Structure 1
Amino acid sequence: MSVIALILSALSLGWQAASYAMTGGRVNVELRVGETDQTGSNLVTTPAGPDLNAADWLQTYANEGRSGRPVIAVRVHPKGRMPVTVERWSLVIMQDNPPQTLFGPLLLLLMPRELSELDIGHGSHGPPFPHRFEAGSHSEMWVVDGELASWFVAPEKERLDRRWLPIAAKVELGDGRTVRTRQRLRV
């Protein structure tokens, strides 16, 4: 009988913890690439995917003779029932080699390591920071020039003697939490 009571109390505690975590302000964060015209008024973006290489993307963009500018963006979509505030966002260079252990790839998924960070913050086009999302509000996007990623990654690529490195976007929330994009862009 005491085993049943122990199981039920553990389930109750787990439900309370999950319920507490899901009632606060939560956001989805997405890394996007695209283009904008010279005035910055027309913006077209697509989600960054695992096979998207920034150098190839910029070269294709130049070869097509487009008159706009390539951009990198982060889209933040509120999904919780409580308001949430976005304080700033940044681009981060991520480690892409898992540690050489049996559980290395799993550790990399659970604890991704950031090699370097570039605070974008107020240098991007979008709503001013801090930006407060009320419950049920629509997503917002912040955009920077696409060449910024190449400039940011170049010293790390040289130091590590790599052809490319994965970057992600990271958003810092008003309650101290950070949310990183799952999408990576190879630069």
Structure 2
Amino acid sequence: MNAPEVVRRYAATLLEAAAELKSEAQVQADVERLQATLEVSAELSSCLRNRLMDSQVHRSLLESLFAGKVQPLTLNFLLLLAERRRAGLLPEILAAFTDLFDARQGILQAEVRSAVELSEEQREQLRQRLEVYTGKQVRLSARVDSSLKGGAIAQVGDTVFDGSLVRHLQRLQEQLAGALATHR
């Protein structure tokens, strides 16, 4: 079985187990907490990806870090991954779980690229505007794109909202060209 299929199966299994226990939202909160931990701890991510490390070491590490901090189901899932030597796939499994959870809940994923870091207030305003536009709940992820000279670009599914400085300048150029053409 290839890695993407393994990742999808583990994520789907966790979601189904959470659904049986009626704890999907709590497990999703755990998933977000785990993702944040992995993002800030390169050492933990590296350790989990180390296939030479004994699975008991991975198990002990995960148990010491997350026991009492995540739902029992989530902890048992982490320990199962360690036992099956799949802890290195944890970031991908967590991302797949979020995708499956969002699809089940009717939540749309929106990715925003901006020239500068967006404040929490700006992110919230943008998320709310996208929710009004789509009529659905939106999960927003934002990142800085240094290739943008200014503004931002948001993508929700196949729809792209281009508010970049380059696009604004292109529109201005088109308007000026149109105005000049009508005055000749």
Bigger RCO of structures 1 and 2 (CA < 8 A, at least 6 apart):
1
* Structure with the larger strand share: 1
Larger Rg: 2
Which category of TM-score, normalised to the shorter sequence, fits these structures? under 0.3
Alignment TM-score, normalising by the size of structure 2: 0.21
Pick the structure with more helix per residue: 2
